[in-house]
Chains A and B, each alone.
Chain A
Amino acid sequence: MASTSETAGTGTSGAVPQPERETRLARALRESVIAAGLTAILGFFFLALRTEIETGGLVLSTRWGLWLAAIGIVFVGRLALNLFVFGRLGATTRRKPATTGAGFPVAKVLTWGLLIFAIVLPFFFTIVFPQRDRQYIDLAILIMTYIMLGWGLNIVVGLAGLLDLGYVAFYAVGAYSFGLSAQYLGFGFWTALPLAGLLAASWGMILGFPVLRLRGDYLAIVTLAFGEIIRVVLLNWTDFTGGPNGVSGIPKPTIFGWELGRRDGSFNDLIGVPYDPIQRFIFLYYIIFGLALLTNFVTMRLRRLPIGRAWEALREDEIACRSLGINTRNTKLSAFSIGAMFAGFAGSFFATRQGFISPESFTFLESAIILAIVVLGGLGSQIGVVIAAIAMIGGIEVLRNLDFLKAIFGPDFEPTQYRMLIFGLAMVIIMVWKPRGLVSTREPTATLREKKRISSDVVAQGEGH
């Protein structure tokens, strides 16, 4: 694959460079005109025309300037992309095998750098941004939660190759196990944490059994349904779960039984340090950081054990696994339940952080975001999950604060409205640029593998069954 494209590339650029460039410019122009034309058609109703409700009915107003500006931006953008980005895309993918080999230490340095930053993060923010430290540490907690969820789902999707669209169900099970056990049994965070993990793991098993025979699309649909079932049950079982009102007053985590706070007998009172609300954020941050590290550590250990290798083998070829004597049922169930357990821990943490949970927090969108983190990061890559979680969750937050765009588009412009649009665009770009995710160490073999597998399937069909 790589060698043929390389010879083709050098052949055309070496022998006939001149016409190549001309046709490329012409093609770029043609494609830009098409793109601009499409924008004109699509944008006409959205941008050029606008209906406003006034007394006496709808009033149609026109915004030709905006419409023409959009067409212009698309034309220029497409032209620039064609000339400078798409042309080089082939060149970068061709060079990839060499860079992944040489780039490996970079990943290692990045890993350690991120780890050290994560350890000192709360102090970094309190010292460097004393005004906004709460906001930033809160964001770091959020990102860390998603990193943990991403790592948990990575076991199921990335390692075992079981496409799970209902992962949020286990997150919800974890959150509600703590919420409800706190409400009915008076459990604290640390007592409820193992319980939440255990319950989520059992639900992982319960989901696992009926879907053992399913793969790919079918598995995805069933897990999606499962996620929704859990949410709908939580929503409608009003007597027990509070229904749409959720569970409130969930206790904060304690330090060996002592609370953080101003009161007598609190942890602050005990050690004689005055209470500051930021301490609670820092404490929460270190809890989720510890939980996330635990997830990562367990995953890395399991990968080296037979069970982890069996997961990876299962992702590649279930029939081969069975013919090697691997119990695929137990392997799948273990992946489901261990992945679910970490979601349960994370859910329990979510409950204590928010102090309030309701089914609203566990919609399909959450599953989709977690899955997107895993896929964007590169299936099976731990550091990829971290980068993707920072980019996605951090990115969404950054888009909340794009006030400078008001200077360009006028004071009526509300950047948050375009959040999901920009977010979607970014995902499309990443998937075009890196179809195997941000960190895909298997990239060189990946395309080859697909092709060979197809050919061997074709051969297999032709052979004696």
Chain B
Amino acid sequence: MSEPLLSTRDVHTYYGKIIALRGVDIDVHAGEIVTMIGANGAGKSTLMMTICGNPHPRQGQIVYDGRDITMMPTHEIMRLGIAQSPEGRRIFRAMTVLENLQMGASLVDPKYFDSDLEKVFHLFPRLKERIKQRGGTMSGGELQMLAIARALMSRPKLLLLDEPSLGLAPLVVKQIFDAIRELNQSEGLTVFLVEQNAFHALKLAHRAYVMVNGKITMSGTGAELLGREDVRAAYLEGGGH
């Protein structure tokens, strides 16, 4: 296979003295949807934040698009074409939907703004109806749509999604995952997705990793992992998702 778009090698991340990642190796190739599943506190979000440079890993290397981004400050990493829908969505709640989308596009040439706006409204028609509404007054599903849309406004090559299904009704989860699939298929957008909702995530993803206690314990195609007994026992039947 060709060079991966994003790869982490032996990444160790600490919060003070507490170790959160114990040597993580992942590869995300261009055009793929890759997911990482795992339980609460396994280190999934930490990996995502480490890729974004907040915090930086204490050991190991992160390479994106042939460039070492291990110690780069967050805002510079984001300028290389990585966009993130962070944990907790982090929508600007006093700002309207439109203002939030403007914030997402702050690094992009303004000439693309209108067409990009059309694109995300096509993807999430609900946002168009809410364009004047303030972030703080929207439902969880709408917030998640807005978080993804805001990330897309920066015209990314790689989209990082941290638990997009968290706290959402099954129907809304389906809408959002359909949108992710559409983005990947029609535009070839590369997606790295951290999820607890293993069933949906594994069905969506081309490849998947399982993280336990800061380490990758399994990897394979989404279908492979879905078929494995131990995965089913640990993340599907027991989880009740």
Contact = CB atoms under 8 A, between A and B. Distances in A.
The secondary structure that dominates the A interface is helix
Given A313-B103, A445-B94, A449-B93, A328 B41 contact: no
A261 B88 CA distance: 65
Contact of A323 (B41, B45, B74): B74
B134 A445 contact: yes
B89 A456 contact: yes
A324 interface: yes
Interface stretch (A44-52, A314-322, A350-358): A314-322
25 contacts: A309-B102, A312-B95, A313-B103, A316-B92, A316-B94, A317-B90, A319-B54, A319-B90, A321-B103, A322-B54, A322-B74, A325-B76, A325-B107, A325-B154, A326-B103, A445-B93, A446-B94, A449-B93, A449-B136, A456-B89, A459-B166, A459-B167, A463-B163, A463-B166, A464-B196
Given A316-B94, A442-B94, 15 more contacts: A313-B103, A317-B90, A323-B84, A442-B134, A445-B93, A445-B134, A456-B88, A459-B167, A462-B40, A463-B40, A464-B39, A464-B40, A464-B43, A464-B44, A464-B194
Given A459-B166, A464-B39, A464-B44, A313 B137 contact: no
Contacts of A317: 90, 92
Interface string B106-136: 1100000000000000000000000000101
Contacts of A446: 94
B134 A324 contact: no
A216 interface: no
Contacts of B90: 317, 319-320, 323
Interface in B34-48: 38-46
Interface string B22-58: 0000000000000000111111111000001010000
Contacts of B102: 309
A46 B54 CA distance: 57
A245 to B, nearest CB: 48
A460 interface: yes
Interface in A305-340: 306, 309-310, 312-313, 316-317, 319-328
A465 B45 contact: yes
Interface of B: 15, 20, 38-46, 52, 54, 74-76, 78-79, 84, 86-95, 99, 102-104, 106-107, 134, 136-137, 150, 154, 163, 166-167, 194, 196
A327 B92 CA distance: 17
Contact of B78 (A306, A312, A325): A325
Contacts of B75: 322, 325-328
The contact size tier of chain A is 20 to 34
A453 interface: yes
A195 B78 CA distance: 37
Majority SS at the chain B contact face: loop
A263 interface: no
Nearest to B84: A323
A192 B90 CA distance: 45
A312 to B, nearest CB: 7
Contacts of A442: 94, 134
B160 to A, nearest CB: 9
A302 interface: no
Nearest to A448: B136
A326 B104 CA distance: 9
Of A313, A322, A323, A325, most B-chain CB atoms within 10 Å = A323
A448 B137 contact: yes
Contact of B41 (A306, A449, A456, A465): A465
A309 B104 CA distance: 11
A329 B134 CA distance: 26
A445 B137 contact: yes
Contacts of A456: 88-89
Contact of A464 (B42, B84, B167): B42
A96 B235 CA distance: 47
A59 B105 CA distance: 75
B83 to A, nearest CB: 8
Contacts of A312: 92, 94-95
A462 B196 CA distance: 12
A316 B74 contact: no
A323 B136 contact: no
Given A445-B134, A464-B42, A459 B88 contact: yes
Contacts of A22: none
A463 B42 CA distance: 9
Contacts of B89: 456
